[in-house]
Amino acid sequence: MATQLYRLLPLLFSLPCFVLFRHGASPPPRQHDATGDDPAGHHPVVLLPGNTCSQLEARLTDAYRPPAPQCGAGKGNGRWFRLWKNSTAMQDPELAPCLSDQLRLVYDPVVRDFRNVPGVETRVLGFGSTRGFLADTPANKDLCMGRLVEALEKAGYRDGETLFGAPFDFRQAPAAAGQPCRAFSQFSRRLRALVEHASRKNGGKPVVVMSHSQGGYFALEFLNRSPLPWRRRYVRHYVMASTGPGGFLISMQLLASDPSAALSSGSAFTALPSPKVFGADAPLVVTRARNYTEQDIPEFLTAIGLPRLAVTLYETRALPVQLNFRAPVVPTTCINGVGVPTMKELVYWDGNFSKAPEVVYGDGDDLILLESTLALDTVIGDDPRQEYYRSIKLAGTSHAGVVSDEAAVERVISEIFGVVHE
């Protein structure tokens, strides 16, 4: 169960690298030598990492009811311990059920929001610093912006001075307007204060916000829910990597393999394929009896065994956010990988969703389909309010490779150093 929960939390051909500019946009940013000597390159940077990169601490109160005796160790002593990422617990057969139970969320119908299991208190570790989501292992360093942070520091950035991190509780997700979402509201307040602090600490310079993967959903919602005068004052440039408006199919496969986990995470539905990109004629799931398109996702969720409450939460909390994916109306660059085999259709021919499906592949970054990447050009680039928009597609680059491959990191750095209004 711990492994399934970890996987579920959303995530979650050869083309030349090319750049698309919105008609009438500002000219391309000037490139700067990444030496740290150019003042234009030292606008403060705030990074938002991808899924499961943020570190969580927990403590257990007397109200906690452990699923096994060993899970209650330390209950009531008031001490914080590392909940995520806890590699020791993940690899220990006795402790893995404890980790799973303490990580899961429950939906509270009274407050209409997701919360921790009773008796479990959690907090995000190291908000404000990039150290809070860096990992020691090479694989996690690749996934969690470690290579990018190293490159920025080599270029002269310093953690807590010109470089800042905004880790978040990846179990949660922004909910539709009007739906209670305490976790995202708290995160937004902290991020707004961090951006203002970063600007003040650097002589009032506006900030470059840079996100990867799931961090893009948090960053984009944060920007769009912030007053436009505030955005124009404090956000110089938004660089969004490996995020698209169309979600991805692996989220459907993970839900099908473990439907019971759907109510254990507030972000379980965040990355489901979106009507914003995929039309009624594009089957996502194929069975002998019927096909499921993006318009049929509620029926798909019912077919794989989700309770009515879960389907309702998808329709009322997650789907409206997907449909409202829109331009942030600040200078924006989107960077995505293409040219890597990516799930396009899932085939459960006999209708048994508990079995592994046959997979039909298309083009993308191994997670996000090319269709979703291209949709950014219309959803953001064609918005008349979006004065500056740049889209960069990196050939042969994976989802994580955008922030870890050497050439890709250099391209990201050049966008962070770019000048968009001068």
Q: Vertex 134, ends 130 and 140: CA angle to 5°?
A: 150
Tokens of 22: 């919105």
Say which residues have a Cβ less than 8 Å from residue 340's Cβ, sequence separation at least 6: 363, 364, 365, 366, 396, 397, 398
Tokens of 230: 């505030």
Q: Is 62 a catalytic residue?
A: no
Task: Find tokens 């077919």 and name the residue.
Answer: 303
Q: Is 213 a catalytic residue?
A: yes
Q: Catalytic pick from 54, 100, 211, 213?
A: 213
Q: Is 33 a catalytic residue?
A: no
Say which residues have a Cβ less than 8 Å from residue 217's Cβ, sequence separation at least 6: 173, 174, 243, 270, 271, 321
Distances (CA, A) of 6 to 60, 108, 355: 21, 22, 19
Closest by CA to 209, choosing from 374, 412, 421, is 412
CB 48 within 8 A of CB 216: yes
Q: Catalytic pick from 32, 42, 43, 399?
A: 399
Closest by CA to 248, choosing from 188, 294, 316, 281, is 294
CB 2 within 8 A of CB 371: no
Cβ neighbours, 10 Å, residue 247: 32
Q: Catalytic pick from 365, 372, 391, 405?
A: 365
Give catalytic residue positions.
213, 365, 399
